[in-house]
Amino acid sequence: MVGPFIWMFITSLKTYDETIHTPMLWFPAKAQWVNYKIVADKYPFLILYRNTFLVVIGTVISQLFFASMAAYAFARLKFPFKNTIFLGMLCLLMVPSQIFLIAQYNVMVKFNLTNTIQALIIPHMFTVFGMFLLRQFFAAIPMELEDAARIDGAGTFRIYWQIMLPLVTPGLVALGILTMIGSWKELLWPLIVNSDMSKMTLSAGLAYLIGEHTTFYQQVMAGAVISVLPMVIIFTFFQKKFVESIAQTGIKG
């Protein structure tokens, strides 16, 4: 599974001649770190990373906020048509996303939002999946806690914000991580809605890089390493949380 990544790294340290040498050379004679500098100068990695950071943060925060609010209401409050609305949302969960893309794009055009960072965030702020995940966490909290707060005179919003939300932190972390991975890797939507390189995420920006230059593979691999490394570092630090979050999606009930 990791073999290809090792080859990616080794190639990134070769000279051009070494990459196309016959017979194949396994290792470079001398590590060419300069490849990284060339690639970093040639492509706007800083801008792409900044955009990606904004999109990921914006998407994660808004998803957590909106989804947890709705999840709390569905788990704990009683209101007319609750089950009908909930089941309606669940149905949407099963629909493949490409069915929404043309109309979502039309909405963005209508509001003049194409080629903006906002366009990459807005349609992804609302997550039925996340609401569903968090609802299970809210439902697992003992009712007595909430009752006690209510007797002490706390309003519904205070109960949600100050008492319930801290108790579902594991759920928020799980949803946050899953959203982060999804938003980081998202390719189709940025390709559709933005075409300006300065408004691209790394995911889409790198896809353009493929189109342009694929002769100098040592540079291309250096570019790939630059795009892989930060996430791998984050992952090694929070490995346990990542794994728990993914596992969460497969747990029954």
Partner 1 sequence: MFEGINPLNTLAFRDEIRGAMKKQKQRYNYSAYLYIAPILIGIMVFYLYAFFQNIWLSFNDVGIFGNRKFIGFGNYRTLFHDILFWRALKNTAFYAILGVPSIVILSIGLAWMLNQKIPAQSFFRTAIFIPAITLPAAIGLLWRWLYNSSFGLINHILGWFGIQPIFWLSDIHWVRWSILIVLIWASMSYMVIILLSGLQRIPSVYYDAAQVDGANTRQIFFRVTLPLLTPTIFFVSVVSMIGTFQIFDLIFLIIRPDSAAYQYANSLVTFFFQQAFALDLRGYGAAISVVSLILIFAVTAIQFRVQKRWVNYD
The residues in 87-146 that bind partner 1, with binding defined as CB under 8 A, are 89-90, 92-107, 122-123, 125-129, 131-132, 136, 139
Contact letters for partner 1, residues 43-72 (x by CB under 8 A): -----------------------xx-xx-x
Site stretch for partner 1 (CB under 8 A), options 19-27, 31-39, 113-121, 164-172: 19-27
Least distance (Å) from partner 1 to the CB of residue 178? 5
Q: Does 246 bind partner 1 (CB under 8 A)?
A: yes
One character per residue 149-188, x = contact with partner 1 (rule: CB under 8 A): -------x---x-----------------x--xx-xx-xx
CA distance 212 to 174: 37
Closest approach, Cβ 227 to partner 1, in A, equals 5
Decide whether 30 or 185 has the Cβ nearer to partner 1.
Answer: 185
How far, in whole angstroms, is CA 199 from its chain's centroid?
17
Task: Determine which residue in the list 13, 55, 134, 224 makes contact with partner 1, applying CB under 8 A.
Answer: 224
Q: Which is nearer to partner 1, 34 or 232 (CB)?
A: 232
- Residue 176 CB, shortest distance to partner 1, in Å, is 13
**Cβ-based nearer residue to partner 1, 117 or 201:** 201
Nearest-approach distance from CB 91 to partner 1, in angstroms: 10
Q: Is 200 in the site for partner 1 (CB under 8 A)?
A: no
